[in-house]
Amino acid sequence: MVLISHGTGGSPLVYRTIARHLARNGFVVGMLEHPYNNRNDNTLEGTIDNLTIRPKHISMAIDWFFNSEDFTKFLKPDSVSVIGHSMGGYTALAASGGIPSSFPYESSDEKSHLINVTHDYRIKSLVLLAPASVWFKTKGALAGINIPILMLVGEKDQFTPYFHAEIIFNGITDNTKIQHRIVENAGHFSFLSPFPKEMMNASFLPSQDPPSFNREYFHHELNEEITEFLLKNI
């Protein structure tokens, strides 16, 4: 089973091509919409509450699928992967053994706090797409993660630039478990499914890529790369 965690203020629908491709290749795919941090209601963006509950959504979704008579017969026990884009990358890391810390501006007392998260050992691999990782900068914050990771980052990402990937590389104890690629000329939103032409304009940033980047072509490549990784690591 694969769960997809969207970015802050986002939607699961913008990963529809990845989800469809995985489903056609035999995976059960769950597309979460994180309450109060999505396109319809973004009340908790930038808060410690959001950092706390996002990883819980992952475990709740896993519980639901494994307790569902419609799905459980198709699922391999305790074998889950999480795909996380941007803030979804934070979510995936926190749910699989990371210990995040908040920033002072994220809580009412204006202090930094360790986030109370529970390691869900059913998660056996991660796919991180332009992951947001600044909440894992403290020593040992990622030492508890010991599973295969596919991490893809955009060369021209202005929202989660390369230092986010470096935090993960430096924090994971065995970084030989990380399969990593910098996607040439890709931006932060290049990992979202291509939008219809009617929605593509400069004022709608999720539809935009760096000049000459072909999102449609890239997603054919991306789908195959993710599928190949998951078939080996779930």
pLDDT values of the chain reduced to their tens digit, one per residue, 234 residues = 999 999 999 999 999 999 999 999 999 999 999 999 999 999 999 999 999 999 999 999 999 999 999 999 999 888 999 999 999 999 999 999 999 999 999 999 999 999 999 999 999 999 999 999 999 999 999 999 999 999 999 999 999 999 999 999 999 999 999 999 999 999 999 999 999 999 999 999 999 999 999 999 999 999 999 999 999 998
Query: Over the range 163-190, which residues count as b (16 or more CB within 10 Å of their CB) and which as e?
Result: ebbebbeebbeeeeebbeeebebbbbbb
C-alpha closest to that of 10 among 35, 47, 29, 30: 35
Q: How far apart are CA 4 and CA 230, in angstroms?
A: 13
C-alpha closest to that of 35 among 54, 7, 22: 54
Residues 6+ apart with CB under 8 A from 86: 6, 7, 8, 10, 129, 130, 131, 132, 159, 160, 188
Cβ-based neighbour number of residue 89 at 10 Å: 28
pLDDT of residue 19: 99
Q: How far apart are CA 6 and CA 83, in angstroms?
A: 9
C-alpha closest to that of 223 among 3, 5, 15: 15
140: exposed, middle or buried (Cβ count in 10 Å: 0-12, 13-18, 19+): exposed
Which superfamily does 2-232 belong to?
A: Alpha/Beta hydrolase fold, catalytic domain (3.40.50.1820)
Report the predicted TM-score, pTM, of the whole model to 2 decimal places. Answer: 0.97
List Cα–Cα distances, 196 to 20, 120, 162, 199, in angstroms. 17, 37, 29, 6
DSSP H or E stretch at residue 112: none
Give the β-pairing of 29-31 and 80-85: unpaired
Q: How far apart are CA 152 and CA 150, in angstroms?
A: 7
pLDDT of residue 77: 85
Strand-pairing partners, residue 81, are: 2, 125
pLDDT of residue 25: 97
Report residue 220 as tokens: 């054919």
pLDDT of residue 78: 84
Question: What is the separation of C-alpha 46 from the centre of its chain, rounded to a whole number of angstroms?
Answer: 17
Amino acid at 189: F
pLDDT of residue 47: 98
Q: How far apart are CA 37 and CA 206, in angstroms?
A: 16
